[in-house]
Chain A
Amino acid sequence: MSAPVPLTTDRPGQVASTTPPARGRSRWLSDRRLAVAFIAPALLLLLAMSVFPLLWALYLSFTDYSATRGGAANWVWFGNYTAILTSAQVHLRALTTLIYVVGAVGLQTVLGFTIAYLISRRTHGRGLLTTLFLVPMMLSPVVVGLFWRFMLDAQFGVVNSMLGSLGLGQVEWLTKQRTALLSLIVVDTWQWTPFIMLIALAGLTAVPKYLYEAASIDRASEWFRFRTITLPLVWPLLLIAVLFRAIEAFRLFDLVYILTSGGPGVSTETLSFHVYKVAFLGFNTGTASAYGILMVLIVIVLTQLYLRYLNKLKED
């Protein structure tokens, strides 16, 4: 039988132990050094995988370096940046990207919020409905692109087949200038509306019920309750979802690559798709680096402006 544990010790709150105390840390291993040792692996990984490539891309963006041609990386100062900013080809892709971002994110926001609002009003089957709506978001964009390519095929696609059964004519979804960009917007909306819906649903669920009860007592109309309670409270959260989607849409590549290859002609070539061509068709690494840096800068500046507006909204 072991010896009884003493009821009192010199230090209240601690039970005396018979085991010897742990060896003290060596003197050079201070709290600060220990902290550095713990975060060093993650920090090194971040430096190697993110910071270094970014700095290297920044350096290359001021040169005429080509990854395949090799040779010396000649310093061209802002030559690449000037060429990109004054290029009619780039302006055309920027306009295409802008139309795409505004169209896709706008449509997704309206649809996503509407679906979330309708789901939030249901009491039964809410979880099942939410799960079903989330399925498209879980698929790979390449897979989504491939099956939509088949569905939108003018000759044997199911979409034209349905239109035909309704007595409507065939539509060249992917090979006409007007319909190709619209098709990209529709496919992106199909996949990413659930993302907006999910965040909007979280916002709608968080609206305190007593506000609606108070409004009911005051005999406020449905529209009045939506306009003065629901929308103002969900709006900041919705704006964050819009921000994420806008950044994603701005760098769209995969759907374009699979669905239209940028065609017809270059009418659905986005900025990201154009950077890919500059980088890997001509292997103009310096120009492609400058192009990429400019795209990052645009996203950072627009995000900052957006976040300021969001903060101001919260303060108000």
Chain B
Amino acid sequence: MRYPRRIGRGSSPGRRVQLAAAAIVLVATTMAACSDGEDGAAQVSAPKAPAAIPELTKDPLTLSFIWFEWPPAQALEKFANEEYKKIRPNATIKVNTVPNANWHDAMFTQFAARKTDFDIAILDSQHIGEAVTNGNILDLTDFVKNNIDTSAYSPYLLAAYGQYPQAETGKRDESASLYGLPLLGDTWTMIYRKDLIGDKAPQTWDEMIAAATKCQADNPGVSGLAFHQANGSDAAAVTYNTVNGVYGGNLWDAKTRKIDGVLNDPAGQEAMDVLVNKMKPLTAKGSGNWFIDEVNAAVAQGKACIAFNWIAASGGLLDPKQSTLGKSREQILGKLGFATLPKQKTDLVPLGGMGMHVSAYSSAANQAEALNFMKWFEQADIQKKWAAAGGVPSRTDAIQSPEFLNAGPFNKVYADSVPRMRDMWNVPEYARLVDIENTNVNAALNGAKSPTDALNDIAKEQQSVLDSSGKKGGGGL
């Protein structure tokens, strides 16, 4: 049977016109979408927040934060809803959380879309450069001048959580702009087993390694040390940076933007040698992917003599339900001691914690509420209440207050560590720099690279990231 020939099939002029029209529409849509991205990106610097808080809405409003999932996030939501509602009953605080490894992506993919479902981004101090140069967060300089008592803070804490370009370690540049205000201060604490190594904490890095070695030898099944080694987030990188600082090394020369030759100088090499050849052998087998939770678990189960962890994540160690070290907080504290990090060639400790930053894409009403919240949060009495609720404040009066110092045995460690803090780079290339360092330190800790090769690779690759800003094509490899 023959089928009749279909009309309009093949290369008839009508079909060609239709195809051409479809192609034109597709190309036009593509170009329109591309040009839309360019228009949105024309804004290359952070927009300014008003110097005074605009009139606040009386309608119900939800003020959203974005953070990563850990105990301080829940503490903040509970605290803010209890306290802030007293002055703003129509406002509800919502702290949205994502896994730590997705924290940067979750914020910056929304920034890339020029639309955020959060009003306040809780940025790590090192994220500031990327957010500022992309115009993602508000410039708070004028707002801070008019509403915040900057003399109440350690200048470096105020700079670390808000200033860009980055301040010199320990200082604040009064003429630089501020893009955020402190939310949660933090640093590493040394957690040690008083029942195994004695009441007195090791004072130097050498003493600490010697104590851990002896403790491990004397107590089979208990490892000498526990610290962050994972290659996700900034885990292994912070560990190396801490040892680097203690042994007198530098991460870079900020003025000349030079890493190669600075990071891998003799001090840097010594730090890497200490970390890989002296500290790593004292850790538990298979601990090469440990981060905050795993280190806490090792301490709580009595499997580590000495451990290092962020103070803000250490609260659970005193919970008898999560610990095998005692049936009460007092019993646990009889075995666990908390101390500032040992010194060696310097007394530097890592700066942790985060600031609050207002999304440039939030609605005007929510931006106004965000500014009001920040002004409220930075008051002396609120900072003390935040300290009592489990937060780590940044105002000097709150840090020295009994509310804070008595809230946890590790809080005095934070108070003593403030003048000793050093941060990483907060340049726009931070995410790539930290990934390079993380993967290479992790490789060295797990035997996939020699310590020298790992450090030289970090220096070379990080330098190429900083140098490649003008390169045409292939960026990011």
A286, B288: Cβ atoms under 8 Å? no
Q: Interface residues of A, CB < 8 Å — how many? A: 59
Which residues of chain B are near A90, meaning CB under 8 Å?
Answer: 477
Task: Name the segment of A64-72, A131-139, A224-232, A308-316 touching the other chain.
Answer: A64-72
CA distance A68 to B110 in the complex (A): 9
**Which B residues are in CB contact (< 8 Å) with A261?**
101, 230-232, 289
Whether B112 lies near A67 (C-beta < 8 A) is yes
Given contacts A68-B111, A281-B435, are A32 and B286 in contact (CB under 8 A)? no
| Cross-chain contact A56 with B34 (CB below 8 angstroms) | yes
Verify A64–B26 contact, CB threshold 8 A.
no
A278 touches which one: B104, B284, B476 (CB < 8 A)?
Answer: B476
Interface check A115, CB cutoff 8 A: no
CB contact list, A165-204 vs B, under 8 A: 170, 172-177
Task: Check if A208 is an interface residue, CB within 8 A of chain B.
Answer: no
B472 A59 Cβ-Cβ under 8 A: no
Query: Do A284 and B475 have beta carbons less than 8 Å apart?
Result: yes
A277 at the interface (CB under 8 A from B): yes
Q: How far is the CA of A71 from the CA of B130 in the complex (A)?
A: 14
Determine if B447 and A80 form an interchain contact, defined as CB atoms under 8 angstroms apart: no
- CA distance in complex: A82, B473 (Å): 8
A287 with B449: CB separation less than 8 A = no
Which of A170, A265, A282 is the one whose CB lies under 8 Å from B432? A282
Q: Are A282 and B446 in contact (CB under 8 A)?
A: no
Q: Is the CB of B440 within 8 A of A74?
A: no
Interface assignment of B134: CB less than 8 Å from any CB of chain A? yes
Measured between C-beta atoms, what is the minimum distance from A62 to chain B in Å?
Answer: 9
**Chain B residues whose C-beta falls within 8 Å of the C-beta of A279 in the assembled complex:** 476
Is the Cβ of B44 less than 8 Å from the Cβ of A175?
no
B34 touches A71 (CB 8 A): no
Do A52 and B231 form a contact, CB below 8 Å, given A263-B442, A280-B109, A282-B475?
no
* Chain B residues in 8 Å Cβ range of A83: 473-474, 477
Q: Give the CA-CA distance A170 to B477 in the complex, in Å.
A: 36
**Measured CA separation A71–B448 after assembly (Å):** 39
Choice from B38, B112, B284, B473 contacting A80 with Cβ under 8 Å: B473
Closest-by-CB residue of A relative to B133 is: A69
Whole-angstrom CA separation of A286 from B37 in the bound complex: 13
B285 contacts the other chain (CB 8 A)? yes
- Given contact pairs A71-B44, A287-B476, A260 touches B287 in the complex (Cβ within 8 A): no
Cα–Cα, bound, A280→B286 (Å) = 29
**Nearest residue, chain B, Cβ from A280:** B105
Q: Are A174's CB and B435's CB within 8 A?
A: no
The answer to whether B472 and A263 touch across the interface, beta carbons within 8 angstroms, is no
Q: Known A59-B34, A65-B37, A69-B134; judge A84-B474 contact (CB<8 A).
A: yes
Q: A72-B38, A263-B443 are in contact. Are A153 and B286 (CB under 8 A)?
A: yes
Tell me, yes or no, whether B8 is within 8 Å of chain A by CB: yes
Residue of B nearest to A177 (CB): B448
Q: Which single residue of chain B is at the shortest CB-CB distance from A282?
A: B476
Q: B284, A155: Cβ atoms under 8 Å?
A: yes
With an 8 Å Cβ cutoff, the count of chain B residues facing the other chain is: 57
Contact between chains at B472 and A76 (CB < 8 Å): yes
Q: CB distance A277 to B435 under 8 Å? A: yes
Min C-beta distance of B293 to chain A, whole Å: 12
**Residues of chain A contacted by B435 (CB below 8 angstroms):** 277, 281
With contacts A87-B474, A283-B112 taken as known, whether A267 is within 8 angstroms of B443 at the C-beta atoms is yes
Cβ–Cβ < 8 Å partners of B449 in chain A:
265
Residues from chain B with Cβ under 8 Å of A76 in the complex: 472-473
Q: Which of A72, A87, A172, A281 contacts B431 (CB 8 A)?
A: A281
A281 touches B432 (CB 8 A): yes
- Contact A266 B439, CB 8 Å, known A76-B473, A84-B474, A175-B289: yes
Q: Does A264 contact B (CB under 8 A)?
A: yes
Q: Is the CB of B285 within 8 A of A264?
A: no
Interface residues of A in 40-63 (CB under 8 A from B): 47, 51-52, 55-56, 59-60
Chain A residues contacting B43 (CB-CB under 8 Å) are 70
Q: Cβ of B442 and Cβ of A172 under 8 Å apart?
A: no
Is the CB of B89 closer than 8 A to any CB of chain A? no
Interface string of B218-249 (1 = CB under 8 A from A): 00000000000011100000000000000000
Does chain A have a CB within 8 A of B429? yes
A116: Cβ under 8 A from any B Cβ: no
Q: Is A79 an interface residue (CB 8 A)?
A: yes
Cβ–Cβ contact A59 & B44, under 8 A: no
B26 pairs with A69, CB closer than 8 A: no
85-118 of chain A: CB within 8 A of chain B: 87, 89-90
Which residues 398-448 in B have Cβ within 8 Å of A in the complex? Answer: 428-429, 431-432, 435, 439-440, 442-443, 445-448
Q: Which residues of A contact B288 (CB under 8 A)?
A: 172, 175-176, 263-264
- For residue B29, CB closer than 8 A to chain A, the reply is yes
A243 contacts the other chain (Cβ, under 8 Å)? Answer: no
CB 8 Å contact bits of A210-232 with B (1 = contact, 0 = none):
00000000000000000000000
Per CB-CB distance, the 9 closest pairs between chain A and chain B, nearest first, are: A70-B41, A154-B286, A79-B473, A83-B474, A265-B443, A284-B476, A175-B288, A264-B446, A76-B473
A-side interface residues toward B, CB under 8 Å? 32, 47, 51-52, 55-56, 59-60, 64-74, 76-80, 82-84, 87, 89-90, 153-155, 170, 172-177, 260-267, 277-284, 286-288
Given contacts A73-B34, A286-B475, 17 further A-B contacts (CB under 8 A): A64-B473, A64-B475, A67-B37, A68-B134, A68-B136, A70-B135, A73-B37, A87-B474, A155-B287, A172-B285, A176-B447, A264-B288, A265-B449, A277-B435, A277-B476, A282-B465, A283-B112
